[in-house]
Amino acid sequence: MTTPPQTDNAPPAGVTRRQFLQNGLWGLAVAAVGAITGLAASRSSRSSHFWQLDPAKCVQCGRCETACVLTPSAVKAVHAYALCGYCKLCGGYHQPQAQRIDTAAENQLCPAGALIRTFIEDPFYEYTINEERCIGCAVCVKGCSQFGNGSLFLQVRHDRCVNCNECAIARVCPAGAYRRVPADHPYLLKGSPEAHA
Amino acid sequence: MTRPHRLVGLWLGVCAWAMALPSGAVQRFPRPDFKTDYVSPELLLPGPGGPMLEVLDVAVLAAALALAGWFALRQRSRQGLLLLTLFSLGYFGFWRHGCVCAVGAVQNLALGWADASYTIPVTVIAFFVLPLLATLFFGRVFCASVCPLGAVQELALWRPVRTPAWLNHTLGLLPWVYLSVAVLFAATGAGFLICEGDPFVGFFRMGAPFHMAITGALFLVASLFIGRPYCRFVCPYGALLGLLSRVSRRHVTITPDACVQCRLCEDACPYGAIRSPLPAAAPEARATGVRRLALILAAVPLIAIAAAATGFVFGNFLSRAHPRVALALEIHREAANTAQPMSLEREAFFTSGLPTEALYNDARTIQGRFAVGGTLLGALLALTVGAQLIGLSLWRSRTDYEPDRARCFSCGRCFAYCPVGRKPQETPK
């Protein structure tokens, strides 16, 4: 390779050699791309993976609200009704310093008014989440985990999530709670979803 | 947050019966027995959208690549390429929000190769491989009018400033550095660097974190004057495409027929990808050239060893970017200093109840991987530089103006400058 081709000789011979080299390198490149594809295909799956957060690891830091590429975040609070105690004074709903146990705005924890409190029967109240309003700040989740059953928790809602190649929240999650989950089990729920069916 | 004072008693009163229950219960307040026929609402769990859209993405990508090849090689139509550029910007950029993209797909492959628990989606493999294959047949037509990042810069170029060749060659090494560091990061699980460094995804999504918005704005302003700064000096995928484009079956030509050496196209390329003719004989004695080549060939292994050693040290430094290593270092550093306010990461770790030793072991394993990866990375980069030096020191005669296959984006700007192709228009009737 170190001896350059003798240019003053017959030029067609040089051309064919260069052509031969070019063809050989092309074949090599095709083989390399093929090998990479094969190697990748052996580690691939038909179904895609989706980002989800593990509520058991979540520390309710509030970064889900701010780090998501969507505004408002694709992470929302969800409620496992099977775990809920239906308390009149709800650690997830009421301010710790609340003056009265009612639905007045100043007594509510949720900054977006997304947690809805409905009377069922004395002394039980149902708490539902208005997903349109929820910003995924985890304030209610923190309150519920600290003072209640922990029936409120965060989940990535797949009807909103755009499934970034690397989730922007996963990148900053202090608890490492985010991971890729298979498409057939896209939620990591507290309790079982069948429990209240 | 302050704890409730006034209401604690009331709260306990409301749920007092809960406390009387066996202590084995997991719930603090068990689900009540409703006297009314109350039924809990169904917990709605909307699934992710079906794979239809992803199949469509791959189909559109394949079609766009074929179309770009046809416009560039057969039709020689800059207009067609531009229209396709606009379409790609709209489809892959603003509609699909630039994710998943071919540029970042290499990270998924690296992660899939290093982490057995991660499976690579078929879509991502298709996005990685299809442009490579297209390049092997047609040259970098993917860059020309399929890549949305390239499209932004192609359309933004307003007053091109020619950058000197030495700068092009030097900065042209950066994509290799970026590629190897990104692969190292992805393979060690430290994150997807290319995604975080994506210059224009913020525009596509109409929202970005501050640092990404600033990077994007800087690249946009730069690309008004400098032709495709991201593609030429940053894009890690472009490095791969450039390599494959050198040996592509077919490639865009400046002239549709024989070059007449009119020099009109010389300044046509804002990307410095047109190579001018060179005489058959080198402007130096043959012995000088041979001696230089021998010197470079002898120096490359030495440089590679030195670079590998540097990479070993540098890998250790880079490993701090991995969240586990960063956390381990922080906990180790702050073990004595309890006065420091606790970071969220540290707090989360202590909440998890894992032993610190497990974290340290994790961190050591990751650091080891970074050291190995860094060594390889350094050696590989040295070989890249060596190959570049060897390429620069070889004298290759050229009779015509021709595109530099590695750097040419097949954008078709030069077509209009070649008088050979314009003959029919110049002679009316």
Q: Kindly report, residue by residue over B65-87, the tens digit of the pLDDT.
A: 999 999 999 999 999 999 999 99
Mark yes or no for CB contact B43/A159 under 8 Å: no
Predicted local confidence at residue A7, as pLDDT: 47
| Rounded Cα gap, residues A48 and B108, in angstroms | 12
Host H or E run for residue B313: helix B286-318
Burial class (CB in 10 A: 0-12, 13-18, 19+), A100: exposed
Best of A69, A101, A154 to disrupt the B interface by mutation (most B CBs within 10 Å)?
Answer: A69
Q: Which residues contact B364 (CB under 8 A, 6 or more apart)?
A: none
Please check whether residues B109 and B161 belong to one and the same domain: yes
φ/ψ of residue A124, rounded to 5 = -110, 140
Name the residue facing B122 among A46, A159, A164 (closest C-beta): A46
At A49 the pLDDT is 85
B269 with B170, same domain?
yes
- Clarify whether residues B300 and B379 are in a common domain: yes
Give a yes or no: residue B176 inside a domain: yes
Q: Provide the residue range defining the domain that includes B165.
A: 54-277+398-424
Same domain flag for B238 and B355: no
Q: CA of B309, closest CA in chain A: separation in Å?
A: 28
pLDDT at A70 over 50: yes
Gap between the Cα atoms of B149 and A190, Å rounded: 41
How distant is the Cα of A80 from the closest Cα of chain B, in angstroms?
A: 7
- Nearest Cα of chain A lies from the Cα of B263 at a distance, in angstroms, of 25
Is residue B44 in a domain? no
Q: Span A56-75, mean pLDDT? A: 94
Please compute, for residue A86, the number of CA atoms within 13 A of its CA located in the half-sphere on the CB side: 20
What does pLDDT average to over chain A? 88
- Nearest-CA distance B278 → chain A (Å): 14
Predicted confidence band of residue B19 (pLDDT cuts 50, 70, 90)? very low
Q: Which two tokens stand for residue B29?
A: 């307040």
Check A25 against B280: CB less than 8 A apart.
no
User: Among all residues of chain A, which has the CA nearest to that of B322?
Assistant: A171
Is the CB of A128 less than 8 angstroms away from the CB of B34? no
Binary contact (A33, B394; C-beta < 8 A): no
Stretch among A96-105, B17-26, B92-101 having the lowest mean pLDDT: B17-26
Q: What is the average pLDDT across B52-64? A: 94
Q: Are residues B412 and B380 in the same domain?
A: no
Beta-carbon pairs below 8 A across chains A and B: 215
Any chain B CB within 8 A of the CB of A9?
no
Q: Are residues B342 and B260 in the same domain?
A: no
Domains in chain B, number: 2
Judgement on whether residues B318 and B197 belong to the same structural domain of the protein:
no
In this structure, which amino acid lies at residue B376? L
The pLDDT score that the predictor gives to residue B253 is 94
Q: Is residue B37 part of a domain?
A: no
Q: Using an 8 Å CB-CB cutoff, list chain A residues near B97.
A: 162
Number of C-beta neighbours around residue B356 at 10 A: 13
Residues B253 and B300 in one domain: no
The answer to whether residues B58 and B78 belong to one domain is yes
> Could you tell me if B389 and B403 lie in one domain?
no
Q: Determine the average pLDDT of the residues in B41-70.
A: 92
Judge whether residue A194 has pLDDT over 80. no
Contact A85 B27 (CB under 8 A): yes
**What does the H/E/C string look like for chain A?**
CCCCCCCCCCHHHHHHHHHHHHHHHHHHHHHHHHHHHHHHHHCEECCCEEEEECCCCCCCCCHHHHHCCCCCCCEEEEECHHHCCCCCCCCCCECCCCCCCCCCHHHECCCCCCEEEEEEECCEEEEEECCCCCCCCCHHHHHHHHHCCCCEEEEECCCCCCCCCCCHHHHHCCCCCEEEEECCCCCCCCCCCCCCC
Q: Rounded to whole angstroms, how far apart are CA atoms B325 and B327?
A: 5
Q: What pLDDT score does B24 carry?
A: 31
Is residue B146 assigned to a domain? Answer: yes
Tell me whether residue B6 is in a domain. no
Regarding whether B331 and B247 lie in a shared domain, the answer is no
Would you say A57 and A176 are in contact if contact means Cβ atoms under 8 Å apart? yes
pLDDT band at A183 (very low <50, low <70, confident <90, very high): confident
CA–CA gap between residue A70 and residue B207 (Å, rounded): 8
ipTM value for the complex = 0.85
The DSSP bridge partners found for residue A155 are A76
**Min distance B234 CA to chain A CA atoms (Å):** 20
CB spacing of A165 vs B124 below 8 angstroms: yes
Residue B35 covered by a domain: no
For A4, phi then psi, to 5°, come to -70, 155
Same domain, B387 and B403: no
pTM for this model (two decimals): 0.89
Residue B46 covered by a domain? no
Which residue from B minimizes the CA distance to A72? B207
Query: Across the interface, do A149 and B28 touch by the CB < 8 Å criterion?
Result: yes
